[in-house]
Chain A
Amino acid sequence: MSLEINRVGKWLGGIRVLDDVTMRVPDHGLIGLIGPNGAGKSTLFAVISGFEPADSGDIRFADRVLNGLPPQPRAHLGLIRTFQVPRPFTRLSVRENLAAAAPRQSGETLRGAFFGGAASRAEQAAIRERSEQLIAFLNLGAVKDSPARDLSGGQRKLLEFGRVLMAEPKMILLDEPFAGVNPVLQQTISDCISTLNQRGVGFLIVEHNLAALSRLVGHLYAMDRGRILAEGTPDQVLADPAVREAYTGGAL
């Protein structure tokens, strides 16, 4: 299940927000994407996940062309994104948040809600079990029945992570997983990512925290003003003069 982005371009009000972007996340890949604010990283995520259309180029996942598809079929293929600022279902509990993310629930249709019977109940039991495992994995046991709006920033990040996992992803577009997170939690999240990657989940990670990202990924792309500036190992990319210039004043 590789993700291929071929010469993707996008205009927004006269500006080229994405310019001939080409990238590849191989199967089981763990790839990073860096760039200063306004480089186009969020736009790229929006285009890959189907929330915005590309004006040129194409995107393939698992050998399927994604162009023109809305977000849902892309998610069904296993390509799922997170958001920079966590977006929990605020009034639902942590457990319900996780359960709501599980795919293919027959109880989520009207007919299934009333006539689903034993089959639906079995599905929900399986989902409950998976949620409990995830809650343990992410150390959210203490708050599992609290409404998500009562969670701290770090807990919300973990919940966001957990929700994506419930959706049975093959590849995750991770948007700034370390933003606003203390170093201990950063390590936890980093370990989670590594573990999942070893189990076969691919990752494309946008991050500003270059140090943490470099420790995690083997291959990195750098963007600025809609274009790819460089790609390679973290050391190569961070040493690239064009990249350093784009980050003038930034922390390297």
Chain B
Amino acid sequence: MLAYLVAVAIIFGIYALLTLSLDLHYGFTGLINFGHVGFFAIGAYTSAIATLNGLPYIAGFTAAAALAALAAWPLGLLALRLREDYLAIVTLAFSEIVRVIVTAEKWLTRGTQGLPDIPRPFASLGSGYAEIAYLGLVAIIVLAAVLLIRHLIKSPFGRLIQAIRDDEVTVTALGKDPAGAKIRIFMIGAAIAGVAGALYAHYITYIVPDQFTPLVTFYVWMAMILGGVGRISGALLGTAILISIFEGSRMLRDLFPGILQVEMANLRLALVGLLLVMFVLYRPNGLLASRSDP
């Protein structure tokens, strides 16, 4: 039972990082990013490849954050000039380009065969303790991310990005530069997603390109909306709901062993799709808020 809870908590932590960073992009700054899984993938593969080639974990994690942030830079530049619907499509295209590159460059990533046997920190502690230690690592990183984002939001910089979200034209008219702030936020959020990717790779220990489809991005969007956009507590709440859906559907399958795993996966997907539609229609501000702003 404990092992199960630890596993769920670890997945929660990883997705929480994704939701928090997407919230940084969209909830706080208004950047419509539909390619978030791309940063996740870059982080996962970077750290996996680094550590599989003998580099220490700290190098892997740092490289994951750095490369994800680096990838965000040209995207951020594009974001400055594109209207929001084009940006949505372009960011989606970006994450698919990442997946295609990862699939094609077999010499680096072993393509569709994926990367097995990714080393896991604390593995030497033995079964049970290793997972708890890993959870500790995840928890520390999530806490650090929350504190970082909180400090950022409460600072004048945080006020500036929210002003940019609310009315970028006025920010320009007042003599400030939205461009630099948007790019920086884009890169910070990407770095956090990259770290999440590294945590994921080292936990699962076997990654393939198909784990990084746009569906992951949509899960995170759903989590962000359900919990309430633009609030740290909302991001965490939304992630909790998302994980509940994942685990709840797994438990249902244990209750009804006649259901195939594939069917359960589709039922879960249908629920996610339905919730997304319902919440957009009736509760766009999240579970706890009433219908006010679109």
Direct contact of A and B (CB under 8 A): yes
Residue ranges of A at the interface with B (Cβ–Cβ < 8 Å): 49, 51, 70-76, 80-81, 83, 87-92, 96-97, 99-101, 103, 105-110, 112-114, 116, 120, 124, 149, 163, 167
Distance, CA A110 to CA B182, complexed state (A): 11
Q: Enumerate chain B residues within 8 angstroms of A74, measured Cβ to Cβ.
A: 175
Q: Are B176 and A108 in contact (CB under 8 A)?
A: yes
Q: Are A89 and B166 in contact (CB under 8 A)?
A: yes
- In this assembly, does B38 line the interface, its C-beta being within 8 Å of a C-beta of chain A? no
Contact of B293 among A72, A90, A108, A113 (CB under 8 A): A90
- In this assembly, does B158 line the interface, its C-beta being within 8 Å of a C-beta of chain A? yes
Q: Are B167 and A90 in contact (CB under 8 A)?
A: yes
Q: Are B175 and A92 in contact (CB under 8 A)?
A: no
Contact of A100 among B159, B172, B184 (CB under 8 A): B159
Distance, CA A51 to CA B173, complexed state (A): 8
Q: Are A100 and B160 in contact (CB under 8 A)?
A: yes
Q: Are A163 and B167 in contact (CB under 8 A)?
A: no
Contact of B184 among A80, A96, A110, A163 (CB under 8 A): A110
Contact of B157 among A73, A81, A83, A110 (CB under 8 A): A110
Distance, CA A120 to CA B169, complexed state (A): 25
Q: Enumerate chain A residues within 8 angstroms of B177, measured Cβ to Cβ.
A: 72
**Minimum C-beta distance from B69 to chain A (A):** 12
Contact of A72 among B166, B169, B170, B172 (CB under 8 A): B172
Can you spell out 27 A-B residue pairs with CB atoms less than 8 angstroms apart?
A51-B172, A51-B173, A71-B173, A75-B174, A83-B173, A87-B170, A89-B166, A89-B167, A90-B293, A91-B230, A91-B293, A92-B162, A92-B163, A100-B171, A100-B174, A101-B174, A103-B175, A107-B155, A108-B160, A109-B157, A112-B156, A113-B151, A113-B158, A114-B151, A114-B155, A163-B174, A167-B175
Q: Are B293 and A76 in contact (CB under 8 A)?
A: no
Distance, CA A164 to CA B152, complexed state (A): 25
Residue ranges of B at the interface with A (Cβ–Cβ < 8 Å): 151-152, 155-160, 162-163, 165-167, 169-177, 181, 184, 230, 293
**Minimum C-beta distance from B152 to chain A (A):** 6
Distance, CA A73 to CA B174, complexed state (A): 10
Beyond the given pairs A71-B175, A89-B170, A103-B174, 18 more chain A to chain B contacts, judged by CB atoms under 8 angstroms and listed by A's residue number, are A51-B172, A71-B172, A72-B172, A73-B175, A83-B169, A83-B170, A83-B173, A87-B170, A89-B162, A90-B293, A91-B165, A91-B166, A106-B156, A107-B157, A108-B181, A110-B157, A110-B184, A112-B157
Q: Enumerate chain A residues within 8 angstroms of B166, measured Cβ to Cβ.
A: 88-92
Q: Enumerate chain A residues within 8 angstroms of B171, measured Cβ to Cβ.
A: 100
Interface secondary structure of B, over-half rule: helix
**Minimum C-beta distance from B200 to chain A (A):** 27
In the complex formed, the residue of B with least CB distance to A81 is B173
Contact of A113 among B157, B163, B165, B230 (CB under 8 A): B157
Q: Are A88 and B167 in contact (CB under 8 A)?
A: yes
Q: Are B157 and A80 in contact (CB under 8 A)?
A: no
Q: Enumerate chain B residues within 8 angstroms of A91, measured Cβ to Cβ.
A: 162, 165-166, 230, 293
**Minimum C-beta distance from B76 to chain A (A):** 14
Q: Enumerate chain A residues within 8 angstroms of B151, measured Cβ to Cβ.
A: 113-114
Distance, CA A150 to CA B152, complexed state (A): 25
In the complex formed, the residue of A with least CB distance to B159 is A100
Q: Enumerate chain B residues within 8 angstroms of A87, measured Cβ to Cβ.
A: 167, 169-170
Distance, CA A80 to CA B170, complexed state (A): 10
Beyond A107-B156, A112-B156, A113-B155, whether A100 also contacts B163 by CB under 8 A is yes
Distance, CA A236 to CA B81, complexed state (A): 46
Q: Enumerate chain A residues within 8 angstroms of B162, measured Cβ to Cβ.
A: 89, 91-92, 96
Q: Are A105 and B156 in contact (CB under 8 A)?
A: yes
In the complex formed, the residue of B with least CB distance to A163 is B174
Residue picked from A91, A92, A108, A109, most chain B C-beta under 10 Å: A108
Distance, CA A91 to CA B292, complexed state (A): 12
**Minimum C-beta distance from A61 to chain B (A):** 13
Residue picked from A76, A99, A113, most chain B C-beta under 10 Å: A113
In the complex formed, the residue of A with least CB distance to B160 is A108
**Minimum C-beta distance from A23 to chain B (A):** 20
Q: Are A99 and B173 in contact (CB under 8 A)?
A: no
Residue picked from B156, B169, B230, most chain A C-beta under 10 Å: B156
Distance, CA A70 to CA B176, complexed state (A): 11
In the complex formed, the residue of A with least CB distance to B158 is A113
Contact of B175 among A72, A106, A107 (CB under 8 A): A72
